[in-house]
Amino acid sequence: MIKPMFRAAVPFAIFVAGMTGGPMSGTVAAQERELEEIIVTATKRESDVMDVPASITALSTETLENRIVNNYDDLTVLVPNWDVKLANAQVIQRVRGIAHGLVQGPHEGAVAQHIDGVYIPRTTALRGVYHDLQSIEALRGPQGTLYGRNATGGALNLTTNKPTEEFEGRLSLLAGNYDRRNVTAMVSGPLSENFLGRLGVYYNKRDGYIENLQPGGDDPDYEDVISVKLGLRFLPSDEVTIDLTVAYEDWEGSNAWASYTAPQDIIFPIYTNAPYTLEYGKLYNDIDNKDEREDTIVALNVGWDVSDSLSIRSTTGFVRNEFESVNDSDGTGVYSVSWHPRNKSDTFSQELVIDFSLMEERLDVILGGYYYEDDTDFGFYLPLNFIDGSFGLPFNTSQINQDWQQDTTAYAAFLDATFHVSDSFRVFAGIRASDEDKDVEIQSQQVVVLCGYGLPVSEVGDSWSDTSPRLGFQWDVSETSMIYGQVQEGFRSGGYDSGSCNDPFDPEEITAFEVGYKAGFNNGRGSVSAAAFYYDYQDLQIQQIVDLQLNIENAASSEVYGIEIESSLLVGDYTTLGFNYAYVNAEFEDYTDCDSILFLGNCSGAVVAAGLAVFEDLSGNQMPGAAEHTLGVSLDQEIPIDGGDLTLIVDAYWTDETFPRQFNRVKFDGYTLVNAFLSFQPDAWQGSTIRLFAKNLTDEEYFQGFTTVANTSFNFMSNFGSPRTWGVELVYDFR
């Protein structure tokens, strides 16, 4: 199936590009129906997505509802060059091959995620459910000028539906395999003359996807979640809008590491004859895994349209994330390694943006300031029972118990301007100046001392500053097509490694070049977007295991380049075709590292100096998780029938093979995911929808996260992908 899809990619792209030269003749051109116009706010002002000189995919409310988009899993299929995976209860977003390996504790990812303009720092919170959303905007490429820190890969903007001036509501009931039960409800309308309200509730519960072979053990990867959103809108005048969003989510589930290779008893005899399995979808867990998370998000947005050429926007945010987890991490049926992390963080942010025009609207300017404060308490308990069980000690004698407190304060000021040289040619430039301070206090109680500082309490701190400019142009080749080009810089914060011994790591920096083409054709019935990009990374942050510790370290340099094509075509009145393809070459340019798994888990300086471990040149190796080729196709087919409207939607996604580690020894095969939805809206019951769905229709077997159990069983561990899920949804919209 995949090879024919891939062979079709280039000719399809050429065919679509050829159609952009002018309107088509015949009956098709005479038809009035057009593709949906999507408005985005990626550039801090509202614009048609086809008019923005950047690589953006926007998912509308209709797309999210028709495809039952509830969480991160669905973005991989719907957003080109955007891979989202689960690893150790963290959501890892990889854009154009770029991600931060295994993000944990107080550390942040390479993609900046926002809800109603408020930055969400913790990657555990990204596992939250998507419901009652107006849109999802996925911006590919570094967004340092407008979005600042930790947007080297891109930015993901979630916008909630706002209260309506007319009363309306929705009720959805869903049932599926794995005993899934889901209820979604929403009500919206006026509370008084100038005061509007909206309330949305989401509840989902299902059994675990994975079979636990341990006698008496629970099946992991289950979910039990309730999410509530309250939206209030106050309209004191025609010029001022005040929006308040309060979201709360209580999530319980489990994460599951399964053996990818056989455990070994090289050092620790506890693994001799330890039960394990390499069968897909099954594992041994002698400890029942459990993840618990509570998130509270408050977003206050105030907009004041002072005049036609001046507006002021304020976004105030508060985010609380509480997370606690128990994970059996050795993949065997013996009591060996378990990981017990916990995290609580409070985040406050404030952004002020002034948008104005000068020179008779030939110069558009965005001027902004940003303040960010984050207080995080992180800790973990790690019993080293592989030592105790191997050498006759009582269990839980050897352990690491670590408490970590990090305070982060960041400031930024930014300026972005677009000058209209003519009606068809514009140049834009921007700059962002950022300062960031981090203070860390760590208390470590270790029976087995691993950290070099050797003290129970350690206090460290550092500060960084960065300037992120951008420069580009936009040329309207015709009324419906344009070419753009830009160069942009960005950075990701440095810090101290909570998974290690408080080891420092530097900020990573990126310089990105991009040229692109966007066009509408066939009288608004087709669209195409294409981009080519080149990244130069310095001090890329990656993760490696050394002496039982997960270390974040800086690769010397790396480069990424590639192309993207995304297109939609309305054929006749009832058929919409979608297509996207991406090629990415992501390689280390100058990087050496030591593979601890080859040297009994020990790549410390003393071991290397003694010649017992070797650093190897990884230059030219493919970066972890980066797929060289990805391809997606979609079909939206409306089928007119007596008594109602019938719609069939099919989405197919294929990804090339990947290497989960920088050493490129272990390889994950490529795979295909197919999702299908069949919806019926009966005339006899206005406002109702009956929807059948199946995700991962072919029950493809694939892997997500990946790590090693160093210094213990020396086996590789992975997270399974989601299996085939199916069910039925009943929806009723009322007004």
Domain CATH code at residue 443: 2.40.170.20
As a whole number, mean pLDDT of residues 603-627 equals 78
User: What's at 34, amino acid-wise?
Assistant: E
Residue 349 lies in a domain: yes
Q: Which domain holds residue 335?
A: 2-400+411-734
Residue 71 lies in a domain: yes
Backbone angles phi, psi at 261, to 5 degrees: -135, 165
pLDDT band at 29 (very low <50, low <70, confident <90, very high): very low
622 secondary structure, DSSP code? B
pLDDT of residue 280: 87
Neighbours of 726 (CB within 10 A): 15
Neighbours of 189 (CB within 10 A): 15
pLDDT of residue 225: 93
**Higher-scoring residue by pLDDT: 154, 263:** 154
Residue 406 lies in a domain: no
> Is the alpha carbon torsion for 37, 33, 69, 195 positive or negative?
positive
pLDDT of residue 525: 92
Please, are residues 355 and 365 in contact by the beta-carbon 8 Å criterion?
yes
- For residue 276, pLDDT beyond 60: yes
pLDDT band at 41 (very low <50, low <70, confident <90, very high): confident
Count of the separate structural domains present in the chain: 1
With 0-12 / 13-18 / 19 or more C-beta atoms within 10 angstroms meaning exposed / middle / buried, residue 106 is buried
| Cα distance between residue 191 and residue 40, in whole Å | 28
Residue 280 lies in a domain: yes
pLDDT, tens only, 277-333? 888 888 888 888 888 889 999 999 999 999 999 999 999 999 999 988 887 777 777
Please, are residues 494 and 518 in contact by the beta-carbon 8 Å criterion?
no
With 0-12 / 13-18 / 19 or more C-beta atoms within 10 angstroms meaning exposed / middle / buried, residue 423 is exposed
pTM above 0.95, yes or no: no
Q: At 83, which helix (H) or strand (E)? A: strand 82-87
DSSP alpha helix (H) spans, 90-226: 144-147
- For residue 678, pLDDT beyond 60: yes
DSSP per-residue letters across 206-248 = E--SSEE-STTPPPSS-EEEEEEEEEEEE-SSSSEEEEEEEEE
CA 528 to chain centre: 24
pLDDT of residue 266: 56
As a whole number, mean pLDDT of residues 97-125 equals 79
Residue 313 lies in a domain: yes
CA 603 to chain centre: 32
E strands, 421-548, where? Answer: 425-446, 457-478, 481-492, 495-496, 504-505, 508-521, 526-546
The count of residues in the chain is 735
Backbone angles phi, psi at 400, to 5 degrees: -125, 130
Going by C-alpha positions, the residue among 666, 642, 672 that lies closest to residue 714 is 666
pLDDT of residue 663: 87
**Higher-scoring residue by pLDDT: 38, 688:** 688
As a whole number, mean pLDDT of residues 613-617 equals 81
**Higher-scoring residue by pLDDT: 206, 540:** 206
* Cβ neighbours for 32, distance < 8 A, ≥ 6 positions apart: none
pLDDT, tens only, 136-195? 999 998 888 888 888 888 999 999 999 999 999 999 999 999 999 999 999 999 999 999
| Cα distance between residue 449 and residue 684, in whole Å | 72
CA 509 to chain centre: 20
E strands, 547-608, where? Answer: 549-571, 575-590, 592-593
Q: What percent of the chain has a predicted confidence (pLDDT) above 70?
A: 82
pLDDT of residue 332: 79
Residue 548 lies in a domain: yes
Residue 405 lies in a domain: no
pLDDT, tens only, 681-729? 999 899 999 999 999 999 999 987 666 655 455 556 778 889 999 999 9
Average pLDDT, the chain: 84
